[in-house]
Amino acid sequence: MTATLPAGPETVPTGPARGRAGTRAGALGRRARALYSFLGPSGTIAAAVLAAMLILAVGAGLFAPYDPNQASLLDAYQGPSMAHLLGTDAIGRDVLSRLIYGSRTSLLGPALVIACSTAVGVPLALIGAWYGGLVDAGAARILDLVYALPGLLLAVITAAMFGPGLTPAVVALSIAYVPFLSRVVRAAARQQRVSPYVDALTVQGFGPWRIGARHILRNIAPMVLGQSAVAFGYALLDLAGLSYLGLAVQAPTADWGVMVSDQDSMLRGHLLPVLVPGLLVVVCVMALTVLGARIAGERPERHPLWNRRGKRAGAE
Amino acid sequence: MLELNDLDVALRVGGRMRRVLSGLSLSVAAGEAVGLVGESGSGKSMTVRAVTRLLPEGAAVSGRIRFDGRDVAAMDAPALRRYRDRDVGMIFQDPRAHIDPTYRIGSFLTEALRVNRGVGPAAARRQATELLAAVGIDDPERRVRQYPHEVSGGMLQRVMIASVLAAEPRLILADEPTTALDVTIQAEVVAILDRLRRDRGIGMLFITHDLDLALAICDRVAVMYAGSIVEIRSARDLHRSACHPYTVGLLGSRPSIQARVDKLVAIPGRPVSAFEAPPDGCAFTDRCAHAEPDCLHGRPALEPFNDGLVRCRRVADLAVLAESRPESPAAPPSEPAAKSVVEPPAESPAEEGTQP
Amino acid sequence: MSAEALSVRALTKVFRVADAKGRRAEFTAVNDVSFALEPAGSLGIVGESGSGKTTVARMLVGLEPATSGTMTVLGQDRSQPARKAADRRERARQMQVVFQDPYTSLDPSQTIGSAVEEVLRAHSALTGPARTARLTDLMDQVGLDTRQTAARPRELSGGQRQRAAIARALAADPKVLILDEAVSALDVSIQAQVLNLLSDIRAATGIAYVLISHDLAVVRQLCDTVLVMRKGEIVERGDCANVLDHPEQEYTRVLRASVPVAGWKPLTSARQAEPS
């Protein structure tokens, strides 16, 4: 056994890029198949869509045919052509280029929102779940209070106080999304907290921080990740809405929400510059929801977020 | 009365068919109590589900299940309902999960009487209190007005027995009815079940993992392994002269309350399900201390031996062996060779089954 | 240091509960329980549900604070919950526990090997090859091979998981092991293997056991002395064989008579007054 496990069991091959060059392709194929069987057909499509968007956003300079802000009044309101695949907008900017560059702000905003609310919400959830009692009840009441406040309303208030812009919108939504993550994570962490393996670790002399970070968090990680992905979709939707209202990203900057608010095009019956970014927002949110539900191991129709927000999205 | 003939059942698990019963044959005569004993994965609970046609969707069944000569598989919906209502009654392990918590105990008991039997409300109520008294519940008048959460698990199991008796079935299927109960409560519930069943001449198929319990209250006991019966004989004989190495092993595995032994006769490895067992040969081979290379080929049949049925091709040799060493256990204690479930169950034949 | 591995005096646990009408009430789960266990001894605590036996176990290992009474392990007091990390570690090295359910008592996302190694890292000075060697020894001792060491709990059977839980408990090299219904959830043939394993380990290491169980036969097989508990109190105690063969208390007699054995006929006279 010592011969096969030279440095303890943690070195047992579980990583992907291990093995000689000859077997690497085979190993990659195996990884891909394993990933596919985990994600399922719908999850794989969702992941592929999101990966493509991410690549476009990162490499915008490489993929976009034009400068997104280069106006040319002579080329205004052109339909799709070889020169402009999706046509141009009211001041002759290339719609495709604006979409590609717009994915940067459109994805960065929600990423910041989720990063902040996860960073606050998950530790809060773990602490509440671990100590229970008054600590838990106190945290839960505060979160309920925040939960009762719609994120968009909070963002409108901050915009009124600090002026419109991406930063105040992100801060407002980060606060609004904390209970979103925290409540679900708390329930999952609570389940882990009372399971005998946590008792066993306690008897082994490990402290709450170590058990929380090394064991409980690791076991609920898929759920946290899935929940974050779903929340990402809704943050994207909210930020696009705020940008549409002119409260987040400001007009000349390429952004999907800003693009949707191009009412001149709409009024002239020139729909492409408005519809395509709107469609992209919808596709993104759907992909994130499907992927998130898949990662968290929940069927999408049962997902509490899906249900709750689904109703609201329908009313909007 | 109940006859299972060469029953094969496979369940659909994640798109694949997994065999849980293979070649199961068993009969229960009117008024007879038959114990069905096995470890997890042996298929004992699936047998009950097959008998009541309660197998999960997508299950493939072959072989015959007959009740009084009628083919259970061929019954149409009304016939099946009548069969489940009148002919068989079922007692589950967890009564709390099988009794609707929103109805009073009285309503639970009278519902079947009123709906299926057309008994009037007053008569049904009287019968319900009589039944509760019969299963040894004090103050039945008060109990019928209580909700399931207000009574203990042992009492609820007696309510369950009462509800089964209300239908006056000819066969009771009891699936681990006392496993969740404390030992003193188990003794009570079993005593009541045993007495009422005998008084009323009801047959019983008693599913349990507890061989001692089955031996105590059943007329005949069948021992299951990997989806089929490996030995069946009268309870009295099985206890004294078990023939199949697995039965002998089970008897030796259980510590005794009467004396401590130096070392329990453990069976190495772990119990397997029918789908994990090798397709050819005896399913018990790789845990058996008496296996020979020949045991890996051809499935042994369930054949008569010493007034019982045994599924072992070496049963005659082993009987001689056991007689020559009357005091020593049939299977020598061996190191537990625990096997991982991730490996394919069929091991290379060279490694095993070579002890004389 | 006292001669006793474990000594418990007047241990009491009172839970605050809500009664049927939602008022605050008190429920005494364990009432004035005292016992002692010498090094390498083996004590069985037998009782039915509600007897308080599991609460005793949870108080012993520090998962539940005692309402009153004292507990000492190897002469050191542990009546109060550990405050400092060093105390927690120290206590962990004195006493360990194996729980009933092999399916939930191991971290599902951790391999068996890394679970045991985590404990070795926390409690022993061993490093590098020496630690790996100790890990191998522990795994050999409980009968798990290399592949099972590298597996996650999900990939193992119930019996193998319980072996892993035993290895993890032994990794801290405790002097007392609490076995809280540790073999109750196992199949009969697996239970026999684990009982034999536990006997071997005690013979080899001189560890002391406290076995919490509802199963009289298992207690008889593994324990020298026994306590019979009912409704939070000790009903009878003494040498295991003596108590089971010649019970003095009515309750012990009933318990004994309720166990199905060869030629056993269930008696309705075994009836207990049930709470309604």
Q: At residue B67, does pLDDT exceed 90?
A: yes
pLDDT for C232 equals 93
For residue C43, count other CB atoms closer than 10 A to its CB: 25
Q: Report how far residue A114's alpha carbon sits from residue A119's, in angstroms, rounded to the nearest whole number.
A: 8
Contacts for B40 with CB less than 8 Å, ≥ 6 apart: B209, B271, C158, C187
Quick check: C203 contacting B, CB < 8 Å?
no
Q: DSSP letters along C42-74, please? A: EEEEE--TTSSHHHHHHHHTTSS--SEEEEEET
Q: DSSP letters along C147-179, please? A: HHHTS-GGGS-HHHHHHHHHHHHHHT--SEEEE
What band does A16 get if pLDDT is binned at 50, 70 and 90?
Answer: very low
- Average pLDDT value for residue range C204-219: 94
3-state percent breakdown (helix, strand, coil) of chain B, nearest 5: 40, 20, 40
pLDDT for C41 equals 94
Tell me the backbone φ, ψ of residue B60, rounded to 5 degrees: -105, 125
B264 chain-C contacts, CB cut-off 8 A: 192, 195-196, 221
Same domain, B92 and B208: yes
- Subunits with 3+ Cβ pairs within 8 Å of B are C
Helix or strand holding residue C34 (H, E): strand C24-37
Quick check: C270 contacting B, CB < 8 Å?
yes
Q: At residue B33, does pLDDT exceed 70?
A: yes
Q: At residue B337, does pLDDT exceed 70?
A: no
Q: What b/e string do you get for A160-192 counting C-beta neighbours within 10 Å, with b at 16 or more?
A: eeeebebebbbbbbbbbbbbbbbbbbbebbbeb
pLDDT tens column, B130-146: 999 988 888 898 999 99
Contacts for A221 with CB less than 8 Å, ≥ 6 apart: none
What's the pTM value of the predicted model, to 2 decimals? Answer: 0.81
pLDDT for A256 equals 87
Q: Report how far residue A214's alpha carbon sits from residue A275's, in angstroms, rounded to the nearest whole number.
A: 46
Number of C-alpha atoms within 13 angstroms, CB side, residue C154? 3
Superfamily of C6-101+174-259 according to CATH: P-loop containing nucleotide triphosphate hydrolases (3.40.50.300)
* Domain hosting residue B289, numbered range: 245-351
Q: At residue C1, does pLDDT exceed 90?
A: no
pLDDT for A24 equals 65
Same domain, B90 and B132: yes
CB distance A259 to A102 below 8 Å? yes
What is the DSSP-derived secondary structure letter of residue A63? H
Task: Read off the tokens for C97.
Answer: 């526990």
Examine the fold and report which residue of B191, B223, B255 is the final residue of a domain before the chain moves on: B223
What band does C59 get if pLDDT is binned at 50, 70 and 90?
Answer: very high
pLDDT for A163 equals 86
Same domain, B210 and B311: no
Examine the fold and report which residue of B223, B253, B288 is the final residue of a domain before the chain moves on: B223
> Which ipTM score applies to this complex?
0.85
Which range is least confidently modeled, A243-252, B13-22, B118-127, B345-354?
B345-354
Nearest CA in chain C to A202: C63
Q: Report how far residue A224's alpha carbon sits from residue A217's, in angstroms, rounded to the nearest whole number.
A: 9
pLDDT tens column, C108-131: 888 999 999 999 999 988 888 999
C71 forms beta bridges with C8
What band does B29 get if pLDDT is binned at 50, 70 and 90?
Answer: very high
Quick check: A42 contacting C, CB < 8 Å?
no
pLDDT tens column, C143-167: 999 989 998 888 888 889 999 999 9
Contacts for C210 with CB less than 8 Å, ≥ 6 apart: C6, C37, C43, C45, C57, C60, C176, C177, C178, C179
Q: Report how far residue A169's alpha carbon sits from residue C25's, in angstroms, rounded to the nearest whole number.
A: 51
Same domain, B258 and B317: yes
For residue A286, count other CB atoms closer than 10 A to its CB: 15
CATH at residue A245 = 1.10.3720.10
Whether B228 is covered by a domain: the verdict is no
pLDDT for A304 equals 40
pLDDT for C231 equals 93
- Average pLDDT value for residue range A192-209: 90
Nearest CA in chain B to C268: B188
CATH at residue B121 = 3.40.50.300
Nearest CA in chain A to C132: A8
- Average pLDDT value for residue range A177-203: 91
Q: In a mutagenesis test of the C interface, which of A14, A192, A197 is the best target, namely the one with the most C β-carbons within 10 Å? A: A197
pLDDT for C224 equals 95
Place of tokens 């400092």: C84
Interface of A with C in 173-202 (CB under 8 A): 195-197, 199-202
Number of C-alpha atoms within 13 angstroms, CB side, residue B289? 20
Instruction: State what percent of residues in chain A have pLDDT above 70.
Output: 85
pLDDT for A174 equals 93
* Domain hosting residue A266, numbered range: 63-315
Q: Report how far residue B338's alpha carbon sits from residue C196's, in angstroms, rounded to the nearest whole number.
A: 14
pLDDT for A43 equals 86
Q: Sort strands C6-18 and C24-37 into parallel, antiparallel or unpaired.
A: antiparallel
Count of domains observed in chain B: 2
Q: Do C165 and A218 touch (CB under 8 A)?
A: no
Which of A4, A10, A196 lies nearest to residue C105, judging by beta carbons?
Answer: A196
Place of tokens 């070889």: A82
Whether B237 is covered by a domain: the verdict is no
Q: Can you tell me whether residue B354 is helix, strand or coil?
A: coil
Same domain, B187 and B52: yes
Cα angle, residue A266 at apex, residues A260 and A267 outer, rounded to 5°:
145
Q: Can you tell me whether residue C264 is helix, strand or coil?
A: coil
Instruction: State what percent of residues in chain A have pLDDT above 90.
Output: 20
For residue B324, count other CB atoms closer than 10 A to its CB: 8
B64 forms beta bridges with B5
pLDDT for A10 equals 34
pLDDT tens column, C232-252: 999 999 999 999 999 999 999
CA torsion angle for A180, A182, A183, A188 (degrees, to 10)? 130
Best CA proximity match to C235, nearest among C254, C263, C219: C254
pLDDT for B115 equals 80
Same domain, B116 and B43: yes
Whether B266 is covered by a domain: the verdict is yes
Same domain, B210 and B270: no
What band does B334 get if pLDDT is binned at 50, 70 and 90?
Answer: very low
Q: Report how far residue A138's alpha carbon sits from residue C101's, in angstroms, rounded to the nearest whole number.
A: 33
pLDDT for C197 equals 94
C158 chain-B contacts, CB cut-off 8 A: 40
Over chain A, what is the mean pLDDT? 80
For residue C70, count other CB atoms closer than 10 A to its CB: 15
A1 chain-C contacts, CB cut-off 8 A: 136, 139, 145-146, 149
Best CA proximity match to C66, nearest among C18, C107, C33, C44: C33
pLDDT for A87 equals 81
Quick check: A218 contacting C, CB < 8 Å?
yes
Quick check: C167 contacting A, CB < 8 Å?
no
CB distance B173 to B90 below 8 Å? yes
pLDDT for B57 equals 85
CB distance C200 to B239 below 8 Å? no
Q: At residue A6, does pLDDT exceed 50?
A: no
- Average pLDDT value for residue range C32-39: 94
Over chain B, what is the mean pLDDT? 85
How close is the nearest chain B Cα to the Cα of C42, in Å? 14
CB distance B50 to B205 below 8 Å? no
Contacts for A301 with CB less than 8 Å, ≥ 6 apart: A307
pLDDT for B136 equals 86
Q: Report how far residue B148's alpha carbon sits from residue C92's, in angstroms, rounded to the nearest whole number.
A: 43
What band does B323 get if pLDDT is binned at 50, 70 and 90?
Answer: low
pLDDT tens column, A243-301: 888 888 887 788 888 888 777 777 777 777 888 888 988 898 899 888 888 877 654 44
Quick check: C20 contacting B, CB < 8 Å?
no
Q: Which residue has the higher pLDDT, C28 or B316?
A: C28
Same domain, B187 and B60: yes
Quick check: A3 contacting C, CB < 8 Å?
no
Q: At residue A8, does pLDDT exceed 60?
A: no
Q: Can you tell me whether residue B203 is helix, strand or coil?
A: strand
The CA radius of gyration of chain A, in Å to the nearest whole number, is 23
pLDDT for C264 equals 73
pLDDT tens column, A159-176: 888 888 889 999 999 999
- Subunits with 3+ Cβ pairs within 8 Å of C are A, B
pLDDT for C130 equals 93
Q: Which residue has the higher pLDDT, C46 or A150?
A: C46
CB distance A230 to A303 below 8 Å? yes
For residue B108, count other CB atoms closer than 10 A to its CB: 22
pLDDT tens column, A92-149: 888 889 889 989 888 999 999 999 999 999 999 999 999 988 888 988 898 888 888 8
Q: At residue B177, does pLDDT exceed 70?
A: yes
Same domain, B291 and B143: no
Number of C-alpha atoms within 13 angstroms, CB side, residue C259? 21
C216 chain-B contacts, CB cut-off 8 A: 183, 257
Q: Report how far residue A234's alpha carbon sits from residue C5's, in angstroms, rounded to the nearest whole number.
A: 59
Quick check: A215 contacting C, CB < 8 Å?
yes
Q: At residue C169, does pLDDT exceed 70?
A: yes
What residue spans of chain A are helical by DSSP H? 21-58, 60-63, 95-131, 133-148, 151-162, 166-193, 196-203, 208-210, 217-244, 256-260, 263-267, 272-295, 304-315
Q: Which residue has the higher pLDDT, C214 or A305?
A: C214
Count of domains observed in chain A: 1
C99 chain-A contacts, CB cut-off 8 A: 196, 199-200
Q: Report how far residue C236's alpha carbon sits from residue C231's, in angstroms, rounded to the nearest whole number.
A: 13
Nearest CA in chain C to A220: C109
Whether B278 is covered by a domain: the verdict is yes
Whether B292 is covered by a domain: the verdict is yes
Q: At residue A21, does pLDDT exceed 50?
A: no
How close is the nearest chain A Cα to the Cα of C104, in Å? 6
Q: At residue C269, does pLDDT exceed 50?
A: no
Which of C107, C111, C168 lies nearest to residue A219, judging by beta carbons?
Answer: C107
pLDDT for A23 equals 62
CB distance C99 to A200 below 8 Å? yes
The CA radius of gyration of chain C, in Å to the nearest whole number, is 20
CB distance B82 to B266 below 8 Å? no
Same domain, B177 and B262: no
Same domain, B68 and B160: yes
Quick check: C142 contacting A, CB < 8 Å?
no
Q: Can you tell me whether residue B233 is helix, strand or coil?
A: strand
Best CA proximity match to A305, nearest among A240, A241, A223: A223
Q: Report how far residue B223's alpha carbon sits from residue B244's, in angstroms, rounded to the nearest whole number.
A: 9
Q: Do A200 and C88 touch (CB under 8 A)?
A: no
